[in-house]
Structure 1
Amino acid sequence: MAIKQSELILNPDGSIYHLNLKPENIAKDIIFVGDQDRVDKVTQYFDTIEFTTQKREFKTTTGSYKGKRITVISTGIGPDNIDIVLNELDAIVNINLKTREPKKKLTALNIIRIGTSGSLQKNIPVDSFLVSTHALDLNGMLHSYQIETHSNSEISRAYAKHTNWSPKKAAPLVIENSQTLEEKLSSEIIYKGMTATAGGFYGPQGRVLRLALQDEDLNRKMDSFLYNGIQITNLEMETSAIYGLCKLLGHHACSLNAIIANRASGTFSEDYGKVVDNLIKYTLEKLVA
């Protein structure tokens, strides 16, 4: 059955509504960055550029690095933007945009996030790299979908109990990454851990300016959470949404984080731009290895 125009919105040229993309514009290996200016910081290392477009904060460039076709997309900030980007990318490859019908043969994309993040643990220093083995969803966006079968309920319940999680908030979810991508992107210099994904930058991440927090001790509780060797290592705003939607849609996902702050020690990188650039080069080399 054809999907209604109100549900699958296309531009006059037939491209998907927000991303302004058609199937031929993207590769199967896709790098997500938050900042639209960071797209060029990745693609500056490409050998060739075949396509680029931008609509709102969503900038996309496709080209090749050492012979491998790669797409880089800026998602903007937060799980709500990830909801747009991943649903539209999946529609591009798994729905016939002309007939508006889902394809019988589905395509699995490889989604690699290159992001910045703050460490919650003193032993994960500023300027290091971290791969998110799990993502702890604290923002609730994924509850709009039938996500429960893809969540690790034991870790989720343990976290809720440990933090005395408020029932007024969305229930926590824990989603694992793609083991295949993790193995491809790992090395001896990579830290590993569970990344918490908040729905905001200030209160949801425990920052206080002029507003009191619902739970002023939440970050301390997160720091001390440990389940069968898994601890919460860092806090950001995208990874759980990426992992959850990719599990639901049948894509592979792995998040790489440049640690530019350490919340436990109160330190911040002296040159975070260089750290991000080093992570970009590391990721590109791993993708072609």
Structure 2
Amino acid sequence: MDNIHLNKVDAADLGEVTLLVGDPARVELISSDWEQSKLISKNREFILVSGIWKGKRVSICSTGIGAGSTEIATIELIQSGAKKFVRLGGCGAWSDMLSPGDLLLNHAMVRDPGMLHQYVSDVYPAAADPALLATIQSQAERNGLNVHTGIGMTTQSYYLGQSREHGVKNGPQPDQSFMNYWKERHILNCEMESAVLFILASLYQIPAANCLVVHVSRMNDQWVPDEDYRELHKEAAKIVLDACI
């Protein structure tokens, strides 16, 4: 079956691992260090690049933001023969245990009701592959990074669904009790894609994990500066690639 969005992609284009990033600009940022880097597909928010890292073929694809576009990218990469996935992205910390710039590996995600209900019941767990997660954690610790593991949350909303102020007065306002509810249940972070990847990868038997850079602490609204954030993503990508190959 031909892909509708990731055009003209086959198994030979996909490496030992396919990195998934939300921001299309991050594809070039990360793949610029690879040998024989080649653009495979570019359509809307989806950019797929393949290359060689330390003698092994690897690949990276942008998904855009949120559940819908992540479902499209993940399914079409599986159709094309993807072997392994790691989501590289950012997240907001909901715990004082995490500081901006730390790495976080989620072993499972809470998710909004209804997301991917056409694939499986809402009670189906969104969980990472434990062996892949452990390998990435070990590599990050060897590299001396401050790395955490725990349960996160994937939402379909950036503003009200994450108790985030939007500055629009005429209409619904954020419920601050929402974030407190999940903090009391030891949810460490929030983002918008990992649960989609974990569920689809589990259903179609592809190892998957995430490796997230804490972009902001929601406790004090402290953000990582943009240039530092870019460099942290490049470092996280190298750790993941080394762990996977």
Structure 2 length normalisation: TM-score?
Answer: 0.88
Please report how far the alpha carbon of residue 223 of structure 1 lies from its aligned counterpart in structure 2 after TM superposition: 1.1
Q: Which amino acid aligns with 2:155?
A: A
Matched, 1:128 2:116: no
User: What displacement does 1:286 show?
Assistant: 2.2
The one of 66, 69, 89 equivalent to 2:77 is 89
Aligned to 1:52: 40
Equivalent residue runs for 1:170-209 within 5 Å: 175-187=126-138, 188=141, 189-209=146-166
- Percent identity, aligned pairs only, is 24
Question: What SS does the corresponding residue of 2:100 show, helix, strand or coil?
Answer: coil
Structure 2 equivalent of residue 22 of structure 1: 9
- The residue type equivalent to 2:194 in the other structure is T
Equivalent residue for 1:117, pick from 61, 69, 91: 91
- 1:146 correspondence with 2:120: yes
Q: Who is 2:179 aligned against?
A: 219
Give the whole-Å Cα distance in 2 for the aligned partners of 1:51 and 1:208.
38
Q: Amino acid of the residue matched to residue 240 of structure 2?
A: T
Q: 1:239 to 1:248 in 2, by over 3 A?
A: same
Question: Following the alignment from structure 1 to structure 2, what is the Cα–Cα distance between the partners of residues 196 and 244?
Answer: 13
What is the CA distance between 1:54 and its match in structure 2? 0.5
> 1:282, 1:244 → 2: CA distance?
24
CA distance in 2, matches of 1:35, 1:257: 13
Q: How much does 1:233 deviate?
A: 0.7
- 1:87 deviates by 1.5
Q: Residue 139 of structure 1: CA displacement? A: 5.4
Deviations 1:239-289 (A, max 9, x none): 00000111111111101100010001221113322222222222223223x
**CA RMSD, Structure 1 to Structure 2 (Å):** 1.8
Q: CA deviation at 1:22?
A: 2.6
**5+ long unaligned stretches in structure 2:** none
Aligned residues: 233
1:257 aligns with one of 212, 231, 234: 212
Q: In the TM superposition, what is the alpha-carbon distance from 1:27 to its structure 2 partner?
A: 2.3
Computing the radius of gyration from Cα coordinates, the structure with the larger value is 1
| Aligned position for 2:55 | 67
- TM-score, with length taken from structure 1: 0.75
C-alpha distance in structure 2 between counterparts of 1:184 and 1:51, whole Å: 28
CA deviation after TM superposition for structure 1 residue 28, in Å? 4.2
